[in-house]
Amino acid sequence: MTEVLSYDVLIMGSGLAGLRAALSAASVDRSLSIAVISKVQVMRSHSVSAEGGTAAVLFEEEGDNRESHVYDTIRGSDFLADQDVAERLVSNVPYEIYQLDHWGMPWSRRSDGRIDQRKFGGYSFPRATYAQDKVGFYEMQTLYDTCLRHENIHFLNEWFCTSILSDGSSFRGFTAIEMKTGEFVIIKSLAGIICTGGAGRIYGFSTYAHSSTPDGLDMAYRKGLALKDMEFVQFHPSGILPSGILITEGARGEGGYLVNNQGERFMKRYAPEKLELAPRDVVSRAMIREIQEGKGFKHETGIDCLKLDLSHLGAERIKEKLAGIREIGIKFSGIDVINEAIEVRPVCHYMMGGIHTNIEGETEMSGLWCAGEAACNSTHGANRLGANSTSECLVWGNITGKHAAEHAQRVKDRTMTLPEQQIIEEEKRIYDGIFHGRGEMNPYEIKKRLAELMDSKAYVFRDGNTLAEALKEVKELKRASWRHVDDKAYEYNTNYINVMEIDSIARISEIVLVGALNRQESRGAHARIDYPSRDDVNYLKHTLAYYSHEGPELRWYPVQITRYAPVERKY
């Protein structure tokens, strides 16, 4: 008999959004049982690697103001952000910074003891609240410590969720594999929150943890929920070679700059006012243009790149504020940034798109919310500003945790039946279709091929022909016979988990490509060389992708404009 566990609130994902949601739900009602389920140990969630900062307006007395944070976010988004959502982010995030402070977060401080902030790309004021260059690690540690003080928050670590259960319109729980035993388990719940993070491992050259695969997005998509704005993928200017590991924008915030092979600080030609601290889409495009004009460097692997110079900042400042990236440079590129400029290239770093939610983080399924990078509540539109994602995770972790807990209180006394047929079908899908599948090709070869296609054909600049070629190939790879698992063990079968992840990578890559082909304009991070201008008449709208057997069906969804009419972006 399949084991059935039961909770009041069930959170999938133990990153910043998931942990913040758990604490918020626990604060509503201490009698609710809350579970956080995660395919990795809590402190291995990708949030731990956030480096640079969390954006918030803290110093109004020194000239900063919330309206400016709202407008920077909307301008950064190339006017595709929902403006009411950007306003909510900005008004709620200062509370989150101080709440973390009260829970013990070791924010970096000024000499007078007040919390410090640094410059970040696209902002009109230093607004990135930081903890050296390890902000995610300290935020996660603070939230996790605080969760452990709550007896009603339970952790199911190294459990891999495979599907969402519903009775048609309402959430009923998730199905999962307990990785330690290989058991298939049903976890029912009155309310659910998806916090599965970004899908950056659909690319090969990527700053993300290898666990950042699109499982959560795919579960929602297969269940008939819309994915929104998936064509907008952020490429961060400074991924080191050859690994793609991130050098935080905080390095440029502290005064680092980019140079081409003529020793020129080229950003002055592309963004005369903000230079390297223009938004990431602007800087990444400028870098690729320099490379195309022959002004790049060649890394020893043959890859084209530019250089990020920090050496003028001095050893003392680098050791105090950028110790983490110095260590990364030494260990993974063999370069000490105190002495030498480091080779960098735009790298896949963030998904603006995700599961379609409203401003409250509610999905299209009753009883199911979504927060953090997996969600697309439209805070970031076509391009996210650095430091605004950890902010979003905290703000909507809090909002969705509260809603889910209140929903659980409301429906607690109702009898809920489990959807037996769905459970049977899910067992068939993952056991007969994947575990005992009869694929002939190596699934890891398929993963590599998919990533190469995305890296080369859906990168910083895109065009219709190449996107169409990539789509054709992805469809062929999807159809090819590869779904099988060589390792037949039940206990800790990571081969099995990987093949399920690759299955979701194939479907989600296709959605990114279809969305990118369909959007015949350039906006934010989506730059089409065949449609180089923004087209507000036809495309000032969100893309929704719904599941069909043949591939995603697209629809449009309106953008919320409150006070800021779209204008041309200049930096």
Ligand X SMILES: Cc1cc2nc3c(=O)[nH]c(=O)nc-3n(C[C@H](O)[C@H](O)[C@H](O)COP(=O)(O)OP(=O)(O)OC[C@H]3O[C@@H](n4cnc5c(N)ncnc54)[C@H](O)[C@@H]3O)c2cc1C
Q: Which is nearer to ligand X, 46 or 188 (CB)?
A: 46
**H or E stretch including 289?**
helix 280-292
The H-or-E segment that residue 513 falls in is helix 494-518
By CB under 6 A, is residue 52 in contact with ligand X?
yes
- Among 236, 356, 380, 526, the active-site one is 236
Looking at beta carbons only, is 37 or 471 nearer to ligand X? 37
Q: Using CB under 6 A, which of 129, 212, 238, 383 touches ligand X?
A: 212
Examine residue 372 and tell whether it contacts ligand X (CB under 6 A).
Answer: yes
Q: Does 116 bind ligand X (CB under 6 A)?
A: no
Is 210 noted as a catalytic residue in this protein? no
Alpha carbons 187 and 518: distance in angstroms, whole number? 38
Question: Is residue 73 a contact point for ligand X (CB under 6 A)?
Answer: no
Q: How far is CA 346 from the centre of its chain?
A: 16
E strands of 201-317, at which residues? 227-228, 233-240, 257-259, 297-298, 304-309
Q: How far is the CB of 90 from ligand X (least distance, A)?
A: 14
Pick from 10, 11, 23, 39: which binds ligand X (CB under 6 A)?
39
Q: Is 208 in the site for ligand X (CB under 6 A)?
A: yes
Beta carbon of residue 236, minimum distance to ligand X (angstroms, whole number): 8
Q: Does 40 bind ligand X (CB under 6 A)?
A: yes
Residue 373 in the binding site for ligand X (CB under 6 A): yes
Smallest separation, CB 16 to ligand X (Å): 4
CA pair distance 32, 20, nearest whole angstrom: 16
In one-letter notation, the amino acid at residue 262 is Q
What string of DSSP letters covers 441-494? S-HHHHHHHHHHHHHHHSSSEE-HHHHHHHHHHHHHHHHSS----S---STT-H
Structure token pair of residue 414? 């109702």
- Does 136 contact ligand X by CB under 6 A? yes
What is the rounded CA–CA span in Å between residue 456 and residue 322? Answer: 31
Q: Which of 5, 186, 246, 338 binds ligand X (CB under 6 A)?
A: 246
From the list 3-11, 46-54, 425-433, 542-550, the region that binds ligand X by CB under 6 A is 46-54
The one among 25, 86, 105, 161 contacting ligand X by CB under 6 A: 161
Cis peptide bond N-terminal to 242, omega within 30: yes
Q: CA nearest 503: which of 218, 228, 231?
A: 218
Among 9, 13, 144, 526, interactor with ligand X by CB under 6 A: 13
Tell me how far, at minimum, the Cβ of 273 lies from ligand X, in Å: 23
- Distance between CA atoms of residues 430 and 446, nearest Å: 18
Q: Which of 75, 172, 201, 252 is catalytic?
A: 252
Identify the sign of the CA torsion 139, 141, 144, 148. Answer: negative
Comparing CA positions, the residue from 3, 17, 16, 19 lying closest to residue 154 is 19
**CA angle 484-490-492, nearest 5°?**
95
Helix, strand, coil in percent for the chain, rounding step 5:
40, 20, 40
Tell me the C-alpha to C-alpha distance, in Å, between residue 5 and each of 1, 9, 390, 415, 431: 13, 12, 31, 16, 21
Q: Which of 15, 329, 346, 524 binds ligand X (CB under 6 A)?
A: 15
Question: Which x/- pattern over 395-414 shows residues binding ligand X (rule: CB under 6 A)?
Answer: --------------------
Residue among 403, 407, 381, 379 at smallest CA distance from 393: 379
Name the 3-class secondary structure at 566: coil
Binding of ligand X by 205 (CB under 6 A): no
Taking contact as CB under 6 A, which single stretch among the options 44-52, 304-312, 334-342, 509-517 is the one that binds ligand X? 44-52
What minimum distance in Å lies between the beta carbon of 5 and ligand X?
14
252 assigned to active site: yes
Convert residues 177-196 into a mask of x (bound to ligand X by CB under 6 A) and - (unbound): ------------------xx
- CA 408 vs CA 167, 368, 414: distances in Å: 16, 11, 10
> Is position 18 an interface residue for ligand X (rule: CB under 6 A)?
yes
Alpha helix ranges (H) inside 117-208? 135-148
Quickly tell me which residue has 């309206």 as its tokens. Answer: 67
Q: How far is the CB of 430 from ligand X (least distance, A)?
A: 11
14 sits near ligand X (criterion: CB under 6 A): yes
HEC string of 151-177?
A: CCEEEEECEEEEEEEECCCEEEEEEEE
CB closer to ligand X out of 195 and 305: 195
| Residue 5 token pair | 């566990």
**Applying CB under 6 A, does 387 fall inside the site for ligand X?**
yes
Residue 197 binding ligand X, by CB under 6 A: yes
Q: Which CB, 175 or 260, lies closer to ligand X? A: 175
The window from 76-84, 203-211, 334-342, 482-490 that contacts ligand X (CB under 6 A) reads 203-211
| CA 42 vs CA 51, 135, 137, 148, 470: distances in Å | 18, 16, 11, 12, 35
Decide if residue 519 touches ligand X (CB under 6 A): no
Q: Which of 23, 50, 277, 405 contacts ligand X by CB under 6 A?
A: 50
Stretch in the footprint of ligand X (CB under 6 A) among 48-56, 91-99, 106-114, 275-283: 48-56
To the nearest whole angstrom, how small is the minimum distance from the Cβ of residue 40 to ligand X?
4
β-pair type (527-528, 461-462): parallel
279 binding ligand X? (CB under 6 A)? no
Residue from 10, 53, 143, 523 touching ligand X (CB under 6 A): that is 53
Q: Is 51 in the site for ligand X (CB under 6 A)?
A: yes
Instruction: Select 179 or 288, whichever has its Cβ closest to ligand X.
Output: 179
Instruction: For the CB of residue 529, give the shortest distance to ligand X in the complex, in Å.
Output: 27
Contact flag: residue 38 with ligand X (CB under 6 A): yes
CB of 87 or CB of 249, closer to ligand X: 249
Query: 251: how many CB neighbours lie within 10 A of its CB?
Result: 29
389 near ligand X (CB under 6 A): yes
**Token duo for residue 15:** 């990153």
- Which residue in 119, 464, 482, 406 sits closest to 274, CA to CA? 119
* Helix/strand/coil for 300: coil
The contact set with ligand X (CB under 6 A) reads: 12-18, 37-40, 45-47, 49-54, 135-136, 160-161, 195-198, 207-208, 211-212, 215-216, 246, 248, 350, 372-374, 387-390, 393
Give catalytic residue positions: 236, 252
